């Protein structure tokens, strides 16, 4: 069996980037592998937080974001930037710490899109990644340099979404 570790990128404007990363973590947990999610820009409650707690430490999720939803034109940009800087620092600690063979940096790409962190900082994480650590990046708006640097790139493309018909986010499905 091939033991190399790869870098995954789940991007695009469609729904399912975080969900795909959670699916990978769940598969890894089924084989006894520990994973950690460092969530950029997320401070709200999501069902996956409760689900991860039930998996006996196989999936850890750490949120680094405000309880207020982050938007590119937000009046709280400095607060969001502080959270993103903390998430970036924690990402470095986790990548080099050796405790997790699967590391997910959830919404890191969106944090770059919103100008909370720089592209060179993300690329630095990829270049300095220790051997044996599978790394997953998620978020909208991945630049071509990041796409080129990853081993697997999946773009979620929205074809149709019930949200446009007025269906609000639903517990257990969207959060």
CB 53 within 8 A of CB 80: no
* C-alpha to C-alpha distance for 123 and 15, rounded to whole angstroms: 24
Residue 11's Cβ-side half-sphere holds a number of Cα atoms within 13 Å equal to: 20
Residue ranges covered by each domain of the chain: 7-165
pLDDT tens track, the chain, 175 positions? 567 899 999 999 999 999 999 999 999 999 999 999 999 999 888 889 999 999 999 999 999 998 777 776 777 788 899 999 999 999 999 999 999 999 999 999 999 999 999 999 999 999 989 999 999 999 999 999 999 999 999 999 999 999 888 999 888 888 8
Phi-psi region of 4 (alpha: psi -120 to 50; beta: other; left: phi over 0): beta
| The two structure tokens encoding residue 150 | 């990853």
Fold type of domain 7-165:
Rossmann fold (3.40.50)
pTM of the model: 0.92
């Amino acid at each position: 069996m091939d033991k190399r570790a790869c870098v995954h990128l789940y991007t695009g404007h469609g729904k399912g980037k975080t969900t795909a990363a959670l699916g990978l973590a769940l598969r890894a947990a089924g084989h006894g592998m520990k994973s950690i999610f460092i969530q950029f820009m997320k401070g709200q409650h999501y069902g996956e937080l409760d689900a991860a707690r039930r998996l006996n430490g196989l999936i850890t999720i750490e949120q680094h974001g405000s309880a207020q939803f982050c938007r590119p034109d937000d009046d709280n940009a400095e607060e969001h930037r502080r959270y993103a800087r903390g998430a970036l620092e924690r990402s470095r600690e986790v990548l080099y710490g050796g405790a997790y063979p699967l590391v997910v940096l959830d919404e890191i790409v969106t944090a770059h899109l919103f100008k909370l962190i720089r592209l060179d900082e993300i690329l630095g994480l990829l270049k300095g990644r220790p051997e044996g650590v599978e790394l997953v990046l998620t978020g909208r708006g991945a630049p071509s340099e990041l796409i080129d640097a990853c081993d697997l790139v999946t773009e979620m493309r929205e074809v149709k979404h019930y949200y446009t018909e007025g269906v609000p986010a639903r517990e257990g499905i969207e959060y």
